[in-house]
Amino acid sequence: MDNKEKIYNKLMDIVKEENVKVDEMLRDHLYTRLGGKADFFITPSTYEEIQNVVKFSKEEDVPFTLLGNGSNLIIKDGGIRGIVINLKHLDKISSEGNTVVAQSGARIIDASYYALEQHLSGLEFACGIPGTVGGALYMNAGAYGGEIKDVLDYAFVVDKEGNLVKRLASELDLDYRTSNIPDNGDIVVEATFNLTPGNYEDIKAVMDDLTYKRESKQPLEYPSCGSVFKRPPGYFAGKLIQDSKLQGTTIGGAEVSTKHAGFIVNKDNATTTDYIALIEHVQNTVKEKFGVDLEREVRIIGEDPE
């Protein structure tokens, strides 16, 4: 039995046959619609299965990579070796008193609308962020003056030894678009948000207003990874890109959005190679014109194509 077959059999034991795919095309699962194949693509449906995958990965030295909705992640065209874990089956959302408890594969947009239905205020800011709850905690997602840090009470994570551990929000070092989740190697499996009772119509009015603002400013008609660059101190990335006359520039199927200069859209079946070349072109042009280094917000992972 070769190693690939051994890994496949073990993963089937852990998460069941229907939840293991081999050589799965990742772009089909990601908001960006970019990225090559995963050796093994698995979709666990319990916390225990995740714990067992982490333990197996450690024991057998098979690397794993965690994917949310792929809205802040660019995967290269050569794909990802080893195991890719996707938590789309862990998407339950419930509430107790003034809290909303969401499994990490649930969309943060759904958690936001769920809170509205419970007449709970605090997650309005998240009503248009196209990531999962896990992805939102990982980078302390935020918008329009709100962020995860304001509302998170605690999370359950699977740590790198495979233990299920409770982490208080104060233990996660949540800061502007960062947390210590990557450094700790934690997999978030569940989050509890502490919200405030509010009036349904008032909460909905805020969400409608934010949705209108987002739809009028962002190129939501195309796949993208959102804002590609962090805000450089003292500047706005979008303004620098606009003033560099880069909007509408294309490489292959990737384009600097004509609607929002901070976005690069996958307009016409772009490859990741196109996308990365365009990111670098934008960085070089802005550096040349304004002397400012644009740091990527979005992570790029995976292998170069052969």
Ligand X SMILES: Cc1cc2nc3c(=O)[nH]c(=O)nc-3n(C[C@H](O)[C@H](O)[C@H](O)COP(=O)(O)OP(=O)(O)OC[C@H]3O[C@@H](n4cnc5c(N)ncnc54)[C@H](O)[C@@H]3O)c2cc1C
The residues that are catalytic are 177, 227, 297
Instruction: Identify the residue among 44, 131, 253, 302 touching ligand X (CB under 6 A).
Output: 131
**Residue 104 Cβ vs ligand X, minimum distance, rounded to whole Å:** 4
**Residue 115 Cβ vs ligand X, minimum distance, rounded to whole Å:** 17
Based on CB atoms, which residue is closest to ligand X, 170 or 284?
170
Instruction: Identify the residue among 15, 38, 67, 106 touching ligand X (CB under 6 A).
Output: 67
Q: Confirm if 169 and 152 have CB atoms less than 8 A apart.
A: yes
Q: What's the rounded Cα separation, in Å, for the pair 25 and 80?
A: 10
Q: Which stretch binds ligand X (CB under 6 A): 35-43, 166-174, 216-224, 271-279?
A: 216-224
**Residue 291 Cβ vs ligand X, minimum distance, rounded to whole Å:** 27
Phi-psi region at 34: left, alpha or beta (left = phi > 0; alpha = psi -120 to 50):
beta
Q: How far is CA 11 from CA 19, 38, 89, in A?
A: 9, 14, 16
Query: Is residue 104 a contact residue for ligand X (CB under 6 A)?
Result: yes
Instruction: Identify the residue among 112, 121, 132, 283 touching ligand X (CB under 6 A).
Output: 132
Based on CB atoms, which residue is closest to ligand X, 14 or 187?
187
Query: Is residue 218 a contact residue for ligand X (CB under 6 A)?
Result: yes
Q: Confirm if 224 and 266 have CB atoms less than 8 A apart.
A: yes
**Residue 158 Cβ vs ligand X, minimum distance, rounded to whole Å:** 9
Instruction: Determine the Cα angle at 223 with ends 268 and 149, to 5°.
Output: 160
Find the helix packing angle between 47-60 and 3-15, rounded to 10°: 160
CA 136 to chain centre: 6
Q: How far is CA 28 from CA 70, 75, 164, 274, 287, in A?
A: 10, 12, 30, 18, 34
**Residues of span 162-181 touching ligand X by CB under 6 A:** 181
Residues of the shown chain interacting with ligand X in the complex, contacts defined by CB under 6 A: 31, 66-73, 87, 104, 129-132, 134-136, 138-139, 141-143, 181, 187-188, 218, 220, 224-226, 299
